[in-house]
Amino acid sequence: MAAAANPRAGPRVQAERGPAVPLDALRDAAIGLEGIAHRTPLLPVPALERLTGVPIALKCEHQQPVGAFKIRGAYTAISRIPAQSRARGVITYSSGNHGQAVAFAAQRLGIRAVVVMPERAPAIKVAGVRKLGGEAVIAGNSSAERYEQAHRLAQEQGLTMVPPFESLDVIAGQGTCGLEIIEDYPGVEAILVPVGGGGLIAGIASAVAALKPETQVIGVEPVGAPKLARALEAGHPVTLDDTQSLADGLLPLSIGELPFRILYGVVRQSVQVSEEEIVAALRFLYSEAGLIVEPSGAVTTAALLSRRIQPTGPTVAVVSGGNVDPALFERLVAPTRSGPAA
């Protein structure tokens, strides 16, 4: 057993193993991403190893071209759209990172990209979409409002939808992150993954199921957005009434139907971290490793620092993104802002 949860950490379930994205599809996605997405490093963090007593490495997805893992899935999906349809352009709905990834991929492929974003989307992410040539359309704050607006525009303008996580191609692209972890760290016993809509954890679960099924894949989400926890309890996705957190990339009201079918039975554990624990992780990553990451990317480190997850073997914590508003980051890390540790 690679990791144990603190009793207050969240639910555990025993479930039948669900269907995974085939290994060939993951490897095809990896080939397609060559020259587009980075093979991000695994960064050892001695302070975390001293705390936990086991080897800990961070999978640095904040170092991707758009500052988040989302480029893997977005580019994979868009590149696989038939050329005639792709030429008319693409559209998505996103709180930020997936939208930037779609804009980046569209720019590389020379096509139009429209991104429907919430009113509460961080300004840095809206600006990022526009800087990459994407058209940012603001539509309410609920995921339902963004979804409806995006689908209306898609029909009116002949655009192809690139959903954030309800797509096998997107999940296959995200799964390349899991391939890299297993190839670069074959002894890994647990992988901790931030959970929004579930595309990343479903993709990583697929890689683990194919190559190293004894490795645990553990979800981490904010206390204010326990989508995966509720789905694991119920055995199916559950729609929450509301989600709230600094971790703006992890706020869908429900885990995706398709991601859940893929991860169910492979992922058996979800832990939740508080807002205070997320902020403490941001400060830790900056002071101990010199990393500037967004709150969504810090939740896996928060789970380790708070001992909500107590690993018993080599563990990788995915740092999913680094697109944080500079003023917000300055405010959150102020007590440690004298500079990162040498």
Three-state secondary structure string covering 6-68: CCCCCCECCCCCCCCCCHHHHHHHHHHCCCCCCCCCEEECHHHHHHHCCCEEEEEHHHCCCCE
Compute the mean pLDDT over every residue in the chain, rounded to the nearest whole number: 91
More confident: 319 or 16:
319
Poorest-pLDDT segment among 65-74, 99-108, 132-141? 132-141
pLDDT at 10: 39
> ∠54-308-273 over CA atoms, to 5°?
125
Q: What is the pLDDT of residue 146?
A: 84
Return the ∠ at Cα 329 (arms to 254 and 337), rounded to 5°. Answer: 145
For the segment 143-159, the average pLDDT, to the nearest whole number, is 91
Q: Is 333 in contact with 320 (CB distance < 8 Å)?
A: no
> Is 82-161 the same fold as 3-68+167-336?
yes
In the predicted structure, residue 5 carries a pLDDT above the cut 70: no
Residues with Cβ within 8 Å of 329's Cβ and at least 6 positions away in sequence, in order, are 282, 292
Give the model's confidence band at 330: pLDDT under 50 very low, under 70 low, under 90 confident, else very high.
very high
Residues 93 and 150 sit within 8 Å (Cβ to Cβ): yes
Query: CA dist 240 to 9, 142, 190, Å?
Result: 19, 12, 28
CA distance 319 to 193: 8
How many other CB atoms are found less than 10 A from the CB of residue 87? Answer: 13
| Mean local confidence (pLDDT), 11-31 | 72
Residue 341 has pLDDT above 60, yes or no: no
Long-range contacts of 231-239 (CB under 8 A, 24+ apart): 231/255, 231/260, 232/11, 232/12, 232/13, 232/15, 232/267, 232/268, 232/269, 232/270, 233/11, 233/13, 235/13, 235/15, 235/264, 236/260
Asked whether 102 and 71 are in contact (CB, 8 A), the reply is no
Structural domain boundaries in the chain: 3-68+167-336, 82-161
Kindly indicate the confidence band of residue 54, based on its pLDDT and cuts at 50, 70 and 90.
very high
Q: Is the pTM of this model over 0.85?
A: yes
Give me the sheet containing 269-273, strands edge to edge: 42-44, 56-60, 315-319, 190-194, 216-222, 269-273
Token output for 119: 């009113």
CA distance 171 to 240: 23
> ∠ CA 143-145-151 to the nearest 5 degrees?
100
Is the per-residue pLDDT at 16 higher than 90? no
- Give me the phi and psi of 5, to 5 degrees please: -95, 140
Confidence of residue 3 (pLDDT cuts 50, 70, 90): low
pLDDT at 242 over 70: yes
| Cα 232 to Cα 58, 191, 196, 244, 266, distances in angstroms | 26, 18, 14, 20, 11
pLDDT > 80? residue 155 = yes
Rounded to an integer, the average pLDDT of 326-339 is 78
In tens, the pLDDT along 277-296 reads 999 999 999 999 999 999 99
d(CA 161, CA 166): 11
Q: Check: CB of residue 314 under 8 Å from CB of residue 185.
A: yes
Q: What average pLDDT does the segment 109-124 reach?
A: 92
The residue that leads in pLDDT, 120 or 79, is 79
Domain 3-68+167-336 is of which CATH architecture?
3-Layer(aba) Sandwich (3.40)
Give CA–CA dist 22/187, Å, rounded. 22
CATH of the structural domain 82-161, one choice from 3.40.50.1100, 3.60.15.10, 3.30.70.270, 2.60.40.1180: 3.40.50.1100
Instruction: Quick: pLDDT tens for 297-327.
Output: 999 999 999 999 999 999 999 999 999 999 9
Q: What would the mean pLDDT of 257-274 be, rounded to a whole number?
A: 96
Write down the pLDDT at residue 15.
39
